[in-house]
Amino acid sequence: MFFEDSVLMSRLLTFLTLGFHIIFATVGVGIPIMISMAEFIGIKKKDPHYTLLARRWTRGFTITVAVGVVTGTAIGLQLSLLWPSFMQVAGNIISLPLFLEVFAFFFEAIFLGAYLYTWDRFKNPIFHWLLSIPIVIGSTLSAFFITTVNAFMNSPQGFEIDEGKLTAVEPFAAMFNPATPSKVFHVITSSYLTSAAILATIAAVIILMKKGTTYHRKALKMTVTATFVFALATAIAGDSSAKYLAEYQPDKLAAGEWHFETEEGADLVVFGTLNENNEVKNEIRIPGALSFLAYGDFNAEVEGLYETPEDERPPLWIHYMFDLMVSIGFYLVGISMLFLIFWKVKKWNEYNKWLLTGLAVIGPLAMLAIEFGWIYAEVGRQPWIIRGFMTVAEGATTSPHVGLMFLLFLGLYTVLGIGCIVVLRKIFKNNPAELELEGRYPNVKESDKE
Amino acid sequence: MSYEYIGITVLWFFLYGYLIVASVDFGAGFFAYYARLTKKDHIINKLISRYLSPVWEVTNVFFVFFFVGLVGFFPDTAYYLGQSLLVPGSIAIVLLAIRGSFYAFESYGSKDNSVYMFLYGATGLLIPASLATAMTISEGGFIEETASGVHLMIGKLISSPYSWSVVLLAIVSVLYISSMFLTYYAHRADDRPALEIVRKYALFWSSPTIIASLTTFIALSQHNPVHYQKAIGLWWMFGISVAFFMIGLFLVYQGKYYGWAFIAVMFQFFFAFFGYGASHLPYILQPFVTITSGATNETMGVTLIIAFIAGLFLLIPSLVMLMRMFLFDADYVKGKK
């Protein structure tokens, strides 16, 4: 039975941990910058609405950080527990970014503690805001360093293998491999995007439920603006990732696009189905678009999947992951732009029900896109764990107990997930923003003339 | 000194740092729950959470730092420990995860939830016990390498007096270190009722600590005579450790200089811990990994050390800032900020 297959179970357990962790890691990277911006706007405009926004976001953020920290610790240890042979080899090359990631995390943890407990401690609020900068830097640097590790696994370099032994190790060459720039860019922009989208969803839902006040409308405007900017940046990053793939990992691109024969002017296949002869049916076909996506030229030649030996090809279902991710990305750009247009055109009501409903789903959708994107990126390099050097089967543990551990962690993440939701609801449900605003800033009604 | 020795020294420092800060945290969780049971929680729990809230995440990083550094400097340990520790390692992760997240759930979310308090207190003792297992295994004799891979011999581990004495030592040391720290912190906060309680805890846990240290020594002489002989060669380190134990205990008993008492506790564990570590060398994991055989390549080793020094320039000022804000700021400690 598959439950006894330690390689498969190691893969599933790693998927489970990472799939759960990236929800919290993503908001961990993106929310600090939103908090920092809101607090800064609040100080500059002397508008307590924004300061309160920063405060309330921070309060929810601590809960997600806690789960992010503990699941991050879990994946850190699981790397060695589930993939001991991989770590024995790769540890020689990737320990530098892993090590630096912990430093960045350390830095962030110190300042997060300081930020949380000093809201009313400084006479000049700008000092408190300054404490948020290291949090933003620390969380973004963590994302940077850990992404270089993943980039290395996709595009290994910076070492030589001499009779099974690693020689000529260059840590910085391994860190700054060809996959690093596009991957880091894409990870960071999409994390910012997703966090902004989640905060926008919260504001939109509250306004839709007719509980919205000036506070929520300001929140919505700020978060949707951020969503739009980050969505554009993510689109650019995604495009650079596709160009990287075409050059360095054509098999991943070809499997994701169902592009089998090498040809010039390759069409882009959107959705559709495959029959047993690998013929594409029911698809939307955009002529020449794949060539354009890959090389910026509608007639360029794109390598097909048949160039890759059969046992080194990734599974073909990742096509759907790619398409879902990209579709959601386009939706996010579109809906946030629509809101901005409605807002700027004075005659139109940007708070109409349809637009708000469209915005109410962007947070969960963006998070799904993160998951789809990572599944595409990770399953797309199967069967390799270090592309071209070590397969997943060679890296896995031989322990017979992985199946049992899978159940253990499934239970853990269920408990953590439910706990997180329950606590977040509890924090905000009985403490609406208006009440807190009145309690903290009794004079706000007069100063608020919007 | 070659880079492997710098590497292991750095890692040992971090493990020592974790030992101190995590003990305070783990023990505090237990005491908080115990105080709830004995209806004294209103006296000491506010004090405990004032210290822990801003620093719990930092505590966790010390641990992450150690294991990431260990795999970085000595990748072979990932292979042997990873293969053999899947089950105990996973249990430790689950305990750590429950503890960390439930701490946040309780202190930022729902106050005074008894289930959270219980889990927080219970994991505070179970985690040191499960982490101590890794220490026991490094003595050798508990894992075997066969054609099918590396395996932990669980039966041997469970029936070994040495492994139980290490677990016991870990638990009582946690309670001792924690209560000594809380005594100091209560004194700084000028909180007499709390001080009375935690001072009693400290005096109580001192004797099991020193007894467990001795029994661990005896069990080690049975389990690994070579290591024991090397430890005897470093007798003066352990002697200094005992001397600091007496100083710390004396000061708390006298009821003054609690700050110095806690520093004495830190030195007590520093000498014991480094004495143990030094006598353990050249093995990291007997008999599979030695400090030279298991080390990473020289380029990476040197790069890691440079990265480490650069990182310290960032960390030390930040840590000092954190301590000045929350540990040495009298107004904060007293609850005025």
Q: Residues of B with CB below 8 A from A106's CB? A: 58, 61, 65, 311, 315
By percentage, how much of chain A surpasses pLDDT 70?
98
3-state secondary structure (DSSP) of residue A263: strand
Going by C-alpha positions, the residue among A86, A78, A93, A27 that lies closest to residue A57 is A27
List chain A residues with CB under 8 Å of B154: none
CB contact under 8 A, A95 and B296: yes
Is residue B304 within 8 A of residue A99, CB to CB? The reply is yes
Beta bridge partners, B42, equal none
A69 in contact with B, Cβ within 8 Å: yes
The CA angle B87-B88-B89, to the nearest 5 degrees, is 90
A39-88 residue pLDDT tens: 999 999 988 889 899 989 998 998 898 899 899 999 988 988 888 888 88
Contacts of B148 in chain A (CB under 8 A): 398
> Is the CB of residue A59 less than 8 Å away from at least one CB of chain B?
yes
Contact A412 B94 (CB under 8 A): yes
Question: Measuring CA to CA, which residue among A103, A76, A104 is closest to residue A91?
Answer: A76
* A117 with B53: Cβ contact below 8 A: yes
CB contact under 8 A, B96 and A170: no
Does any CB of chain A come closer than 8 Å to the CB of residue B284? no
Interface contact B156, partner A, CB < 8 A: no
Beta-carbon count within 10 A of B298 CB: 12
C-beta of residue A182 within 8 angstroms of C-beta of residue A241: yes
**Locate tokens 């700054």: which residue?**
A176
Single-letter amino acid, residue A124? N
Handedness of CA B155, B159, B162, B164 (dihedral sign): positive
Three-point CA angle B15, B18, B20, nearest 5°: 115
Does A419 contact B103 at a Cβ distance shorter than 8 Å?
no
pLDDT of chain B along its 337 residues, tens only? Answer: 688 888 888 888 888 888 888 888 888 888 888 888 888 777 777 777 777 777 777 788 888 888 888 888 888 888 888 888 888 888 889 988 888 888 788 777 666 667 777 888 888 888 888 888 888 888 777 777 777 777 777 777 777 888 888 888 888 888 888 888 888 888 888 778 878 888 888 888 888 888 888 888 888 888 888 878 888 888 888 889 889 888 888 888 888 888 898 898 899 889 888 888 888 878 777 777 777 777 777 888 888 888 888 878 877 887 788 778 777 777 777 776 6
CA neighbor of A268 nearest in space, from A256, A257, A278, A255 = A257
Residue spans of beta strands (DSSP E) within chain B: 143-146, 149-152, 283-285, 289-290
Contact of B50 with chain A, judged by CB distance below 8 Å, is answered with no
As a whole number of angstroms, the distance between CA A300 and CA A278 comes to: 23
Provide the 3-class DSSP secondary structure of residue A280. strand
Q: State how far the Cα of B24 lies from the Cα of B179, in Å rounded to an integer.
A: 8
- Are B311 and A103 a contacting pair at CB < 8 A? yes
A130–chain B Cβ distance below 8 A for any pair: no
| CB contacts, 8 Å: B81 with chain A | 80, 84
Residue in chain B nearest A13 by alpha carbon: B90
Contacting residues for A418 by C-beta, under 8 A, at least 6 apart: none
Strand partners, A281: A273
Chain position carrying tokens 């404490």: A131
| Chain A residues with beta carbon closer than 8 angstroms to that of B145 | none
Q: CA-CA distance, A216 to A206, in Å (whole number)?
A: 7
User: A404: which chain B residues are within 8 Å (Cβ-Cβ)?
Assistant: 87
Helix (H) or strand (E) holding A285: strand A284-286
Whether residue A405 and residue B90 make contact (CB cut-off 8 A), yes or no, is yes
Q: B71–A426: do the CB atoms touch at under 8 Å?
A: no
DSSP state string for A301-343: EE--GGGS-GGGPPPTTHHHHHHHHHHHHHHHHHHHHHHHHHH
Closest CB to A118: pick one of B82, B149, B325: B325
Cα–Cα distance for residue pair B134/B284, rounded to 1 Å: 11
Strands, E, within A64-208: which ranges?
160-162, 165-167
d(CA A108, CA A69): 11
CB contact under 8 A, B75 and A420: no
Least confident span in A128-142, A412-426, B5-19, B316-330: B316-330
Amino acid at A134: P
Q: Are B269 and B15 in contact (CB under 8 A)?
A: no
Best residue in A13, A81, A98, A148 for a mutation probing chain B (most B CBs within 10 Å): A81
